[in-house]
Amino acid sequence: MDCRLCGAEANVAFSHTILAKHPCDYFFCRACGFLQTEEPHWLDEAYASPIAAADTGLVRRNVELSRTLSSLLFFLFGGRGAYLDIGGGYGMLTRLMRDVGFDYYWADAYCDNLFARGFERPTGPASFTAITALEVLEHVPDPLTFLTDAVQESGTRTVVFSTTLFDGEPPARDWWYYAFESGQHISFFQARTLEYMMGRLGLRLYSHGWLHMLTDRAVSPHAFRLLTDRRAQCLAAIPRRLLRSRTDDDSLDVTRRLS
């Protein structure tokens, strides 16, 4: 089959059963390093429950991500502007970021907004300072089109996203990130895959661990690594101290709208 990312030839790397019932071929593109499943016909079944039952680390990761993003976005943009979390799940990250003081909004086509109700993506034209797509790209069949559309529709040139990378040949089938049991991970990347997308989007790429940023801003790679290092989460105390939490004002705002 053709690579869904770059269009070059992709060959079968291995096969495995998805959701304990669907045989699936995994195709590897040597041109851009992208690893993809066959056409994911099982996605409606996989997303019958948007959050996988085995994902016991969901709350912990959202708390840690909120600390990292607070530092990164504060030191890049000073906390100014509006932000959008696409593929925002239950809205936990959006709520946590608003609690710090960021003007954050939620969007997700597959999941109900439970924690940030009233702060969905505004209808009509909007311009965001940055968008985040945390634990999203591995779920998307065509990640380049997804990012291109997200950038155009949000009016920003900065996307912060997360995905776990592999290097070289496709990992062995015991790699935990395949998540065969949930059927939701269908796209897998390595560093050169992200670099290919960077070139197509005309943006700079900054990457550290599983967190990455595409942007038109010139940022010190050392600063990006520092701000996204788990050991530097203590820096999140700075925006929490200098920004005004929106928690109470949001409650009053939603109450007024409902009354």
**Residues 240, 102: Cα–Cα separation, whole Å:** 10
Joined together, the tokens standing for residue 244 give 């005004």
The mean of the pLDDT values for the chain is 94
How confident is the model over 131-137, as a mean pLDDT? 96
Residue 57 has pLDDT above 90, yes or no: no
Confidence of residue 49 (pLDDT cuts 50, 70, 90): confident
Q: What is the mean pLDDT of residues 51-77?
A: 87
Can you give the pLDDT at residue 53?
A: 63
- Confidence class of residue 50 from pLDDT cuts 50, 70 and 90? low
pLDDT at 52: 63
Q: Domains, the chain, ranges and CATH?
A: 55-165+190-258 (3.40.50)
Mean pLDDT (whole number) for 214-235: 94
pLDDT of residue 54: 66
- Check if the beta carbon of residue 86 is closer than 8 Å to that of residue 107: yes
Going by the DSSP 8-state scheme, the letter that residue 9 receives in this structure is B
In angstroms, the CA 162 to CA 15 distance is: 26
- Least confident among 56-65, 131-140, 191-200: 56-65
Band of residue 58 on the pLDDT scale cut at 50, 70, 90: confident
Contact status, residue 85 vs residue 93, Cβ threshold 8 Å: yes
